A and B are shown apart, each in its own frame.
Chain A
Amino acid sequence: MEVLLLLILLPPLAGAVLNGIFGRRFPQAVVSAVACTAPGLSLFFALLTAWTFAHLPTEPAPYVHSYFTWIEAGAFRADFALYYDRLTLVMTVAVTLVSFLIHLYSRGYMEQEGGYYRFFAYLNLFLFMMLTLVTAANYPLMFVGWEGVGLCSYLLIGFYFPRKSASDAGKKAFIVTRIGDVGFTLGVVLLFWTFGSVDFQYVFTRLEALPPGDLQGSLTAVGILLFLGAVGKSAQLPLYVWLPDAMEGPTPVSALIHAATMVTAGVYMVARSHALYAHAPLALEIVAVTGCVTAFFAATIALAQNDLKRLLAYSTISQLGYMFVGCGVGLFSAGNFHLMTHAFFKSLLFLAAGSVMHALSGELDLRKMGGLRHQMRTTWLTFLVATLAISGVPGLSGFFSKDAILAGAREGPLGDPRLYWLATVTAGLTAFYMFRALFMAFHGASRVQPALEPHVHESGGKMTRPLLVLAFFSVVAGYVSLPKALGGGEWFHHYLQPVFASSQALLSSTAAPAAGHAPSRLAVMGTSVLFAGAGFLLAYLGYVKFTGLPSRLTECFRGTYQLLVNKYYVDEVYDWLIVRPLRRGSEIFLWRIVDAGAIDGLLVNGSAQATASAGNLLRRMQSGNLRSYATWVLLGAVLWLGYILLR
């Protein structure tokens, strides 16, 4: 078992090292063979591990193995140890499966691009870091994976580094998520302070034995700080700004890192720390509310986006919000269920978008597409499947997982009608913008630029085959947890039950029962389908039947439309509220910059400029004049002496 666990991790690392060092000298075929074998092997070993784990006598208790002591300093101890339970099982299988398919797809997609080996080396390295993150048995090791995926994300967003926007986007992602990471680090430090350990097993055991209400303050603080890390990594309000820009990276990267795996790390971390959050209901509520508001907020932005990948990015932010709602109301398994189904259909959406981009020589503007369904049948079909899934059409995976969250928002231990209704409305919005994208891209008359028209073609088998496989999973993945109301056994929910049972029991016992009469499960489903149907209908009317309607509508609601197109001006507001005043203040008063520039200014990319101008002032001190130097020394001495004497 311990060897198997390591074997999941090692192939991508080996692949990254091989391709990173020798890749330049390999022909493309060898590079892609090495790169695709690695996740394939990982998938194989992940499945084998799952099988072995299922036959362990101790199952479902978590399996922990420590390989060696990594850091030991006084009371602080962190091992290189891996943690395997049913949650890890689900994550490893989902991550390796999706990334295997995306690696296969990338072979075709990146064929014509420079830096082929570099791309695959980063991609493999990313997979290794992601797997480290999900199998780590303590917070520091998790943090290594956490930072590692961040680094790979930075490298891959900036993959087309000659383009300034790409390297800027990379920097933005790095800096914005860093703010969250500070929270994460502080959270871990605080946790160590509270329990004297950062080991999952030890901490969780202690937490389970803890009487409810004890250590409320520190646990809430830890929960909020850790969630701050998740906010950065999973692109929630207010730190979501990096994700849309991250679409500058190659499309497979967007699919793998910025839709299916890395951005869900925050959700996984919250779910992994369920025992802690169970003791901190306030922190959980913050998680739920943040998730819900983000889901709604991002969905409204997505309504008016014309860039296909950006639209999908806002959709991702919105769906991540759903997952946090699931975790936040205390139904961790629902959040993880949606995480898994979302990984399939969202990466499918991205890959299909990549296929469209491929056909149109990189065109992403929906207004310059249309009618593609005839030339690109497979892509159209798979995109349709994914759209149906994400909109929550009954029978597809998205329906079941979204429904589980909606039901949780209503009936869950921390459920609240307000959360439920906001999430339901968001479901309607989701259906609208997804169908809008579908119709604009694949239906109606062609608006493709005449020069490109003859080149429009279906992508090769290397790219379409993974699409088909993902489409298959997008349909069937939902059936692992068929709700009771439809005669299913909620198998997935029950499978993860041993992991989350204690926390859920605690939450249900402490939380006040939801007020009023909860509607039945079928009613929840009906409502969400109703909203989704309305969204679909609106999109159909606006973009297929009466194509003139949307432009007339936008004329009527010009202000609102502009607000949405410009993404609520959040980037501008950040720039105006944080970057500009800092820049101006730096010219007047140095200290405010050092203080505020380091803390708040990092919120945006422009903070670099703010600190830079502070540095400029400091540089004046360095005149090169010996006498002024001596004066500084004397001044310092007098200052310190004065302090001591007047103390």
Chain B
Amino acid sequence: MFGSYLPILVHFVVVVVVAGAIMGLSAWVGVKRPSREKLSPYECGITPVGDARGRFSISFYLVGMLFILFDVEIAFLFPWAVVYRSLGWFGFIEMFLYIVILLAGYLYIWKKGALDWTR
């Protein structure tokens, strides 16, 4: 019953082997002459200061999440746009309701002040 999945297995093995081989080869064959400059994260530009894991304002996460939310909303509009003609009025009304609901959410976060950076 698993016979039909064999090509996938073969594919999987080939991918692992090829990727492993490339990385292994470059590590083995390549010339390594490390120096202080080379080991720093950025070889040119501003000298790094402090920890890479800096603290961000909590608002950043909030806005970030909200952005993703509404971004995905837009992404849902694309498939509709493709078949827009065949769905006709039904599709239009459905999408309209969908956006109205999201608009209600937008109104809510706006009035709640989730978008105010300084609060």
Does chain A touch chain B in the assembled complex, meaning CB atoms less than 8 Å apart?
A: no
